[in-house]
Structure 1
Amino acid sequence: MIDLTDEQRDLKNLAAKLAADLYAPHTQEWDRERTPFPVAERRRLGELGLLGLTLPEEYGGGGRPLLDALIVQEEFAKVSPLAAWPVFEASAGPARVIHLFGTEEQRKRYLPRVISGEIIIAITISEPDAGSAATDVTTTARIEGDEVVINGAKRWCSGAGHAEKYLVYVRLGSEPGGKGMGAVLVDREAAGLTFGPQEQLMGHRGVGSADMYFADVRVPIDDLVIPKGGFGKLFTAFSIERLGNSTMSLAIGQAALDRTARYVQERKQFGKDIADFQLVQGALADMVVQVEAARLLVYRAAKNAGTGAPVAIEASIAKCFSNEMAKKVSDLAIQLHGGYGYSSEYDVERMHRDAHGWAIAGGTPSIQRIRIASEYLGRRFDQRA
């Protein structure tokens, strides 16, 4: 096990208490009603200094290692993934792209607003015919004077309609694949940007997901974050985001394990605790092994990242294993809870629904396996060949 510092343990305890006091009472309601995370609560997290933990101090951030942010994110996500979402987006998501690759003017303009909770930035890559094949995007952006003009459609944008800003991946030139791609920031209220109806997803309720349509959307050229040909840089940001994703899965696994460990010692059948049955013990042991292994992989990658980005193969290994762990462990939790596991009252069915969503988002386990093999062998595999 990777030992936490005293400061990290204090941060973990603070986050756990906040989550229990502020968000646990609302988790089921938010999931049932598909309620977006309240903006006032997001601002509260900003005031507490829990947004932008990994962002530079000169913009109001914490300047802390990636692991610190993931610790907070996990404690929130164990109680409410919706409450963990702003922490994820600020410390491991699109804001890190601005931090790492944006201009100084962009960093000064946007990072303090993210850190305070004034805005959240969502990322939008996927399209109807571009999911895992991210470099197949057809949404175009052309530069006209001091403006960027965007046309096209995006799909599966987590936060669509709710987030104030969007980091939109676009095609800036006719060059094939990533060579012609870049990324630009777009405001939710930009003229020509419209949103489709909210998707009725199996999980991730409240985060929001909708199609986005761009019809001659004009944004200042100062909001061009990644110019044409800079798509390769984004793999660094993808690795950070994958650890944020892995942490959401880790939180699901740990929460499902914790609830199940309590339940099997409370529930009685045939006159004794069901924990006394060997089949229950075996299933619980499998859950423990899976969660502990996932934690070691996530913590290793985060620890090695320090205040920077994780090693690509370590991030992909952590995501691949953690995503599949969360599905397996939450499924075992349902089984060990019996009929109660199938009821929303016990919350493990919600965990299982959310677990499948994290395995799809940010590059599926199948895609991670390709990246792991590629990194391990030092070879690039063209899936189109």
Structure 2
Amino acid sequence: MDFRLTDEQRELQQAARSFARKELPDLAREMEDKDFPVPAEMVRRYGEMGFLGVNLPQDYGGLGLGHFEALLVLEQFAMVSNAVAFPVFEALVGPVRTIERFGSDALKEAIIPKVVAGEATVAVSMSEPDAGTALTDLSTRARLDGSDYVLDGTKRWTSGAGHARYYVVYTRLADAPGAKGIGALLVDREMPGVSFGQREELMGFRGIETRDIVFDEVRVPQSNLIIEAGGFGRLMSAFGLERCGNATQSLGLAAGALEQACAYVEERKAFGKPIADFQAVQLRLAEMAMQVDAARLLIYRAAANAAHSADGLPSAYESSLAKCFANEMVRSVTANGLQLMGGYGYHKDYGMEQRVRDSFAWGIAGGTTDVQRTNIAAALLGRRFDQRR
């Protein structure tokens, strides 16, 4: 077992780090202040640099590398901010993977090259006002009418809503109860009948638009079917990679906080010497470092083992373990970073308080930390738990 990166992996990591550190800090600050998503011209630059196609097939313009390499890139962007990293997250570990894995060849050819080039983004639309963790309670429905599906319903908590061009929409495609009736369609925001609610005002996640989506008799071509009714389990099988991406967003946020705190304690002086000389500061930094490295290793293990799995995806156990730990770790690390920086940590001009606010989102998005714990227990005991009985 070799924990060292290959030369190629280090070069990719350094390329992402150099680009993110040089091009994105000022943009990240402006996005936080004014609450707008990554501008289209910058997303295209991401594409030109190859950052949006790391683990997507070469046939569609990607680099054809592994999920591990994709997460190396994502971490470097997330160290600057989760908002500037979000297009990378969506392209490398998000709903594009559902299209790549389950979509028709025609659908892949129509969508993936645009994503890789930074010309379009894809968001996932799952939750509803009455269906979040209990996702199989969703009521959005699509009925077949000639060569089209007619889609009706309301979605909530869609990150990227209004900004993204395409949406992987979880919907009922049959009258069968629960998961048996659920599948997924690809919806274009330009289709008649698609509308968006107001921008949600959240604690953090500024620069990442979140809105309701309303589908009012939206006609979706049959060719946009990704997963037929009864394929809910297959949709969920691809979620292991999204969990690793979620965990990596947490990791990047925490690693950035640790780096910022280390720089601060070397510069800040008290009683005539840098505060890094005080043992209490050293102990807090060491705790932060242990948590960051532990999360990184859990994520790396899940991604590395995915390359040897039958479906090429991280297991539910390893991805849930990585996500749950990283989601809780980032809250602790960013809070410690704020404490070390004192008044400057609490001040909006210095960015640490933003890290704290953003840190809480990841343990809610993509399945709460408690949901991850039930996944972990299910894997340990070898059985699923029916929460309805």
Decide whether the 8 Å contact of 2:81 with 2:253 is kept in 1: no
Corresponding residue number in structure 2 for 1:285: 286
| Structure-2 separation of matches of 1:361 and 1:121 | 17
| Structure-1 separation of matches of 2:185 and 2:385 | 28
Corresponding residue number in structure 2 for 1:150: 151
What is the aligned counterpart of 1:360 among 343, 353, 364?
364
Query: Where do 5+ consecutive residues of structure 1 fail to align?
Result: none
The 3-state SS of whatever aligns with 1:36 is: coil
Decide whether the 8 Å contact of 1:257 with 1:287 is kept in 2: yes
Corresponding residue number in structure 1 for 2:56: 55
Compute the RMSD of aligned alpha carbons: 1.1
Decide whether the 8 Å contact of 1:53 with 1:69 is kept in 2: yes
Per-residue displacement from partner, 1:180-224 (whole Å, max 9, x unpaired)? 100101111111111010011111111100011111011111001
Letter in 2 for 1:309: L
Structure 2 matches for 1:210-359, cutoff 5 A?
A: 210-306=211-307, 308-359=312-363
Corresponding residue number in structure 2 for 1:18: 19
| Structure-2 separation of matches of 1:345 and 1:55 | 37
Corresponding residue number in structure 1 for 2:207: 206
The 3-state SS of whatever aligns with 1:359 is: coil
| Structure-2 separation of matches of 1:48 and 1:275 | 38
| Structure-2 separation of matches of 1:98 and 1:360 | 24
Give TM-score scaled by structure 1 length.
0.98
| Structure-1 separation of matches of 2:21 and 2:352 | 17
Give TM-score scaled by structure 2 length.
0.97
| Structure-2 separation of matches of 1:226 and 1:340 | 50
Per-residue displacement from partner, 1:321-362 (whole Å, max 9, x unpaired)? 000000110011011110111011211111111111111110
Corresponding residue number in structure 1 for 2:137: 136
| Structure-1 separation of matches of 2:56 and 2:28 | 28
The alpha carbon displacement at 1:83 in A equals 2.1
Per-residue displacement from partner, 1:139-188 (whole Å, max 9, x unpaired)? 11111111011111000000001000011100112222211100101111
Corresponding residue number in structure 1 for 2:380: 376
| Structure-2 separation of matches of 1:204 and 1:191 | 29
The 3-state SS of whatever aligns with 1:99 is: helix
Query: Where do 5+ consecutive residues of structure 2 fail to align?
Result: none
The 3-state SS of whatever aligns with 1:260 is: helix
The 3-state SS of whatever aligns with 2:64 is: coil
Decide whether the 8 Å contact of 2:60 with 2:109 is kept in 1: yes
| Structure-2 separation of matches of 1:101 and 1:21 | 37
The alpha carbon displacement at 1:306 in A equals 2.3
The 3-state SS of whatever aligns with 2:220 is: strand
Decide whether the 8 Å contact of 1:138 with 1:171 is kept in 2: yes
Letter in 1 for 2:382: G
The alpha carbon displacement at 1:2 in A equals 2.3
Structure 2 matches for 1:82-101, cutoff 5 A?
A: 82-101=83-102
Letter in 1 for 2:184: A
The alpha carbon displacement at 1:82 in A equals 2.1
Corresponding residue number in structure 1 for 2:193: 192
The alpha carbon displacement at 1:281 in A equals 1.5
| Structure-2 separation of matches of 1:352 and 1:174 | 44
Letter in 1 for 2:313: A
| Structure-1 separation of matches of 2:128 and 2:166 | 18
> Is 1:70 aligned with 2:71?
yes
Letter in 2 for 1:322: A
The alpha carbon displacement at 1:136 in A equals 1.0
Decide whether the 8 Å contact of 1:2 with 1:296 is kept in 2: no
Runs of at least 4 residues off by over 4 Å: none
Per-residue displacement from partner, 1:96-143 (whole Å, max 9, x unpaired)? 001111111111111111111111000010111111111111111111
| Structure-2 separation of matches of 1:22 and 1:341 | 24
Corresponding residue number in structure 1 for 2:121: 120
| Structure-2 separation of matches of 1:272 and 1:180 | 66
Per-residue displacement from partner, 1:264-300 (whole Å, max 9, x unpaired)? 1111112222122222121111101100100000001
Decide whether the 8 Å contact of 1:2 with 1:300 is kept in 2: no
